[in-house]
Amino acid sequence: MTVTDSTAFTAQRVRRLGVPEHARDVRIVHDLDGILDQVTPDSLTATGDALWDRWVHEPAFVAPDVLLGLDAGGILPTVAVALASSVPYRLAWKLDLDLPHKARFSEPHARRTDVYTYGDLHGKRVLIVDDEITTGRTLANLIAVLRAGGAAVTGIACLIEDTSGDARAVMEQLGVPLCTLTRI
């Protein structure tokens, strides 16, 4: 279990069972996912406040027009940050729907790799919110899709940075600031 800085946010790596060969065999579990313990509404809002505060104090801070969270682990952090910031949000889903302004990107380590964004984000400043980042490959794929669609990615706000991967270096190469509450 890891607690960093002055936050009380904790996370840990847990072995996933029965995963396909291409899928990552480790899951990050944390205080907001409801796996190890129940989540109170107060802890949801406190986590959103803490992550938004980290982003606001990031040296590269740019106020976003919209938050974009990822199915499924990024949904709760995105809602929490939206409540803290009053910034509207959208969600990327693993659902292929017949809707306009659909863009597909890949989550290469997942069982179901295709993820879709919906809605016109052209000209919008987008802050991507997720629960964790390890290799950065999923978010790099999303950043490429958003940029191709004319969106400006202002940064990444994640609950956890899993330092077993090289996500921070990947984000730096893309020129996208990475802001996290905890590192494991």
Q: Strand 2-3 to strand 10-15: parallel, antiparallel, or no bridges (unpaired)?
A: antiparallel
Chain segment 121-166, per-residue pLDDT in tens: 999 999 999 999 999 999 999 999 999 999 999 999 999 999 999 9
Q: Under a CB-based contact definition with an 8 Å cutoff, are residues 90 and 118 in contact?
A: yes
For residues 69 and 26, the model is more confident at: 69
**How are beta strands 103-106 and 178-183 bridged, if at all?**
unpaired
**pLDDT score of 49:** 97
What span, in angstroms and rounded, lies between the C-alpha atoms of 10 and 28?
A: 10
Arithmetic mean of pLDDT, 94-99: 96
What's the pLDDT at 101?
A: 95
* pLDDT of 20: 81
Is pLDDT at 7 greater than 80 in this prediction?
Answer: no
Alpha carbons 103 and 118: distance in angstroms, whole number: 7
Alpha-carbon distances of 57 from 99, 114, 139, rounded to whole Å: 36, 33, 22
Q: Is the pTM of this model over 0.85?
A: yes
> What residues have CB less than 8 Å from 144, skipping those under 6 apart?
105
Looking at residues 17-39, what average pLDDT do you find?
Answer: 87
Structure tokens at 2: 């890891």
C-alpha separations of 147 from 26, 61, 66, 121, 141 in Å: 30, 18, 14, 9, 10
pLDDT of 4 above 80: no
| Alpha-carbon torsion angle 51, 134, 1, 93, nearest 10 | 60
